[in-house]
Structure 1
Amino acid sequence: MTQSGVRRSGTESAAPRARGSALWRLKVRLQFTGWLQYLPTVCIALAFALVAAAGWVIGAWPVILFWLPAGAASLLLVTFVFDLVTVKLGLHPVEAVPERRDGLGAFDLMRARRSCRSFQSRDLAPAHRTELMESVRAHTRPDRLIGSSPVRMEYIAAPLTVWPVVGAHEFLVAIAPRTYDRLAVVDVGRSLQKVVLDATRMGLATCWIGPGADQKSVVQHLGDRFDPEKDHVICVCAVGYRSRFMPSAIRAMQTLQHRRLPLASLFFADPHFREPLDVTRFPWEAYGRCYEVCQWAPSSFNGQTTRCAAVVEPNGGEERPVRFDFCASTTSRYYAPVALGIWCANWETGCQELDINGHFAVLSPGERGVQGAPELPRYDVSWVVDHPATT
């Protein structure tokens, strides 16, 4: 996934020296003119061609030094031409509009959602756009947020300068107050992820975009809907219909990124994050696939920066869950809290599917009963279990 805040600072930005280099400027130019996606295929093909040329000159082991690399170079060049014709020039058969996924349960829906790197050229149908914006309004209502700062999502129908996504021309831009409010950034992640899940049920494809979005392009297309004195663009989400035609290099990158840390590295049974949580034993097994959908939640560069500590209390000789503390494992001011918000959305959606009641709350160290906790992971918010009142 290409996700997180457009605004970058500290460890989230490239070194100024690198940004000023000619190589960096060339990379950015290729990236935002839509050619960088195709260059890896050409570069690898040229490398094989050079090996084949060297093998021809050497004259030894012709199968290994000439025919194999020459064949690989030819295959890659054919692939490049195919990508150029079908994706860059858009010369391919008309693709169908994907079907809705109303029949999927919440867990299967969350697992079915995958970042889309290539979109069809067709615009969203009016009915889909209307339903999408209804979802936006529902999930950004003040009473639906964890924090007190407003967040909003603006719809843009324009070919924003983004990377590595191709063909995207409709977007949701997530905006929070310019004055930094970490909880507002968490709310952006949580609210937008719920919109993304609604879009997935509609059959729409989505892709979170952060560092791959050009800030100037986004602000320019927002026009008077963006006030630089008050607003802060947190991230962008492309939305549309998935295309099966995609640059080969992006397809390979997507395949390599489809990996996740084990649950034992994400969920813990103590506030110091030393003891992995055994999600198969009582009482944690009651939360079923909630762990899985958080494990597979999108995050910037698939960094998986969110951690969770589960807390129990005695209950008639047994233990029962009290809350789940969600924390960020890095000092990131934007990427990590957005990813944490996405976890919150998936966790909450999963618990609703299981009829487990709870609510989000920001608790002080005293309320959490935590002393001497490490600086990282950094606590952000808790999901508190709503147990039935006892008489």
Structure 2
Amino acid sequence: MAESLAWRIKVSLQWTGWLQYIPNMFLVVLLSFLGFLFRTLGFPHLATIFDVLDAIAFFVLCFDLITVKFNCRPTEAIPARKDWDAFDLMRQRRSCRSFQWRDLTPEHRNELMECVQANLLPQKMLGSKPIRLEYIREPLTVWPVVGCHEFLVAIAPKEYDRLAVLDVGRSLQKVVLHATRMGLATCWIGPGADQSSVQQKLGPRFNEEKDHIICVCAIGYPSWYMPTTIKWTVNMFSATRNPLSKLFFRDSRFETPLSTEAPPFSRYGRCYEACQWAPSSFNAQPVRVVGHAEGQRFDFYGANSSRYYTPVAVGIWLANWETGCEALKIKGHFKIMDSEKLDVPALTNDGPVYDMSWICSP
């Protein structure tokens, strides 16, 4: 079916970086019209109020265009390293929507790439299929992130392998956490990246017959200057997460919430919170966990049958859970349980899908 004209316009504005300014422009026009209307109807005091609001909206629009779209703004400082504990690091990390135009320093870039290589070692993978995190230092066509020109592109084999997608989420999240400790800003980008733009910038590093781009992660220094529309959206949605009672359960029917604050499950402390605040596409939180055997085993499920975004989210949860357990000095390992040992719920067309279990070591 042919795409509508409105959709084509929306996509064009999105990829050219103008879409985030359209609501401000619309507000300026609307307030100007209301001022004119009330003045025409003989309500000068109301007209004056709308004129003042229109002037404020116009100023905000101009400020956004000058400082963000056209990058006329003062140089901002490089953030300091964050000496936080593991749980504060995972809890405070946020997706950055606006980046400084400066490059990463050579020291930061080298440390970042060392972390990438360390987390891609074969012995650290859950699956057997190789994945890659390719570095790009060029602007990509992404939305709604602005200002970023350094990225990690997560690539898995084109032949679908769910474990490889889990490895992407788990490995890249560990890199993201290390980058956060370094003081760098990051943003996971899935549907907001133009695939053709990414493939073009990868060049010979991407083989269309063998490779599949899973997602992109923007990396850089955060900027205070951000389009107002994005700032409102971030403030509205980034501070909300499902309660633990809707994420952790005692049964694989996901009916009985796990008593995370009562023994024996309470020993995992803030590990639950670390998963609760993990990033996911549109903050959908498509992961569920079932606790078994008096806190000795946790089964991780994708809440729906999505082939890419949900297993990436599960992989991110695995990384945060593992990081939390290491901080608490609780030893364990990941394992795929045999089906006869699992009380797997009846599958529907949209999941859930069992992915992985974490087993506490004796």
TM-score normalised to the size of structure 2? 0.96
Q: Distance in 1 between matches of 2:287 and 2:122?
A: 24
Higher relative contact order (CA 8 A, sep 6+): 1
CA displacement at 1:142 relative to structure 2: 1.1
Question: Counterpart of 1:56?
Answer: 39
Aligned pair partner of 1:341 in 310, 315, 322 = 315
Quote the residue 1:253 is aligned against.
233
Q: Report the alpha carbon displacement of residue 50 of structure 1 after superposing the two structures with TM.
A: 2.2
SS in 2 for 1:37: helix
Distance change in 2, residues 1:379/1:68 (3 Å)? farther
Contact 1:118/1:166, CA 8 A, preserved across alignment: yes
Measure, in 2, the Cα distance between the counterparts of 1:362 and 1:354: 23
Aligned counterparts, 1:66-81, within 5 A:
66-81=47-62
Match of 1:357 among 313, 321, 331: 331
**What are the within-5 Å matches in structure 2 for residues 29-68 of structure 1?**
29-60=12-43, 62-63=44-45, 65-68=46-49
Query: Could you give the per-residue CA deviations for residues 243-301 of structure 1, whole angstroms, max 9, x where no partner exists?
Result: 11111111111101121111111111111100111211111111111111111110001
User: Counterpart in 1 of 2:217?
Assistant: 237
CA distance in 1, matches of 2:245, 2:253: 14
- Verify the 8 A CA contact 1:107 1:289 in the aligned structure 2: yes
1:24 aligns with 2:7: yes
Seen in structure 2, the aligned counterparts of structure 1 residues 50 and 331 have a Cα distance that, compared at 3 Å, is farther
Distance 1:371 1:212, change over 3 A: closer
Q: In structure 2, what is the equivalent of residue 377 of structure 1?
A: 352
Segments of structure 1 that go 5 or more residues without pairing to the other structure are 1-15, 313-319
For 1:271, the equivalent position in structure 2 comes to 252
- Is 2:103 aligned against 1:129? no
AA partner of residue 385 (structure 1)? C
Please report how far the alpha carbon of residue 372 of structure 1 lies from its aligned counterpart in structure 2 after TM superposition. 4.8
- Match of 2:334, SS? strand
Distance 1:348 1:78, change over 3 A: same
Contact 1:176 1:185 in 2 (8 A): yes
Structure 1 position 82 matched with structure 2 position 63: yes
Q: Distance in 2 between matches of 1:281 and 1:118?
A: 41
Contact 1:154–1:173 (CA under 8 A) maintained in structure 2? yes
- Across the two proteins, how many residue pairs are aligned to each other? 359
Name the SS for the 2:213 alignment partner: strand
Q: 1:218 to 1:137 in 2, by over 3 A?
A: same
* Residue 371 (structure 1) shift: 5.3
Structure-to-structure mapping, 1:262-301, within 5 angstroms: 262-301=243-282
Tell whether the 8 Å contact from 2:345 to 2:352 is kept in structure 1 after alignment.
no
Aligned match of 1:3? none
Deviation at 1:173? 0.3
Conserved in 2, the CA contact under 8 Å of 1:272 and 1:374?
no
1:170 alignment partner in structure 2: 150
Secondary structure at the residue paired with 2:355?
A: strand
* Structure 1 runs (4+) greater than 6 angstroms displaced: none
- Cα deviation, residue 374, structure 1: 4.5
> What SS does the aligned partner of 1:38 have?
helix
1:102-251 aligned within 5 A: 103-251=83-231
Cα-Cα RMSD: 1.3
Alignment-mate amino acid for residue 50 of structure 1: F
